[in-house]
Amino acid sequence: DLVNSVLVFPWESQSAHVQVTAKLEQPLQNFSVCLRSYTDLTRPHSLFSYATKAQDNEILLFKPRPGWYELAVGNKFLSFMVPQTLGSSEHVCASWESSTGIVAFWFNGKPWPRKGLQKGYTVGVPASILLGQEQDSFGGGFDAQQSFVGEISSVYMWDTGISTSEVLSVIHDKPGQTPIFGWRNFPYKIVGEVYLKP
């Protein structure tokens, strides 16, 4: 249970990351991902990277610059413009469903206008799921210029869609729906210099 803890990525690195060791058995027709990040980076950086052997950007939550987030599904990208916040952490959630292709995005608990991406697509398994680096190959191919520096916490993933009420629960680490993995039962392995801190 990592509630009240954060993962600190202290500096730019071509190797340091956190591996999520959860095993996903079934391909995904739907997914939702939430996390909190705290950084003063202005360059592009990766928050959540889910790669398969066939597709390095199977799911990617990426921040190209302050005030923007990108979500990739099957290497197709959508952008969301958000307010720039200085000196405060940002909580984001993204949800996708294959049947309609609809992507929902929440910033600090507030829903953004929904958009569409990859209708009819299936997210593959097995996956390499990493925090803090962007995978250009399965479990590797990192670029220090896309590495995360700062703090990440409250990471959750579901194989279903989520609602705004669920997002508001998860902001406080009180999920109503059981996630595939979450901050209260987080299976992880630190690689390189990343530190778990209160």
* pLDDT of res. 86: 81
Supply the Cα-derived Rg of the chain in whole angstroms: 15
- Pull the structure tokens for residue 35: 């996390």
pLDDT at 25: 92
**% residues pLDDT > 90 (the chain):** 98
- The answer to whether residue 129 scores a pLDDT higher than 90 is yes
Q: What is the dihedral of CA 130, 136, 139, 140, to 10 degrees?
A: -110
Instruction: Report the alpha-carbon distance of residue 181 to residue 80 in Å, rounded.
Output: 25
Q: Token pair of 66, please?
A: 């302050």
CB contact at 8 A, 151 and 10: no
Q: At which residue do the structure tokens 């990859």 appear?
A: 118
pTM: 0.98
Mean residue pLDDT across the chain: 97
Q: How do the domains of the chain map onto residue ranges?
A: 6-197
Structure confidence by residue, pLDDT tens digits, 55-93: 999 999 999 999 999 999 999 999 999 999 888 999 999
Average pLDDT of the residues in 7-20 = 98
The residues that bridge with 24 in the sheet, in sequence order, are none
For residue 14, pLDDT over 90 is answered with yes
How far the first Cα of the chain sits from its last, in Å, is 12
Confidence (pLDDT) at 85:
87
- Residue 145 DSSP label: G
Q: For domain 6-197, say whether CATH 2.60.120.200 is its number.
A: yes
Alpha-carbon distances of 114 from 52, 65, 105, 110, 155, rounded to whole Å = 26, 21, 7, 12, 22
For the chain, what percent of residues have pLDDT higher than 70?
A: 100
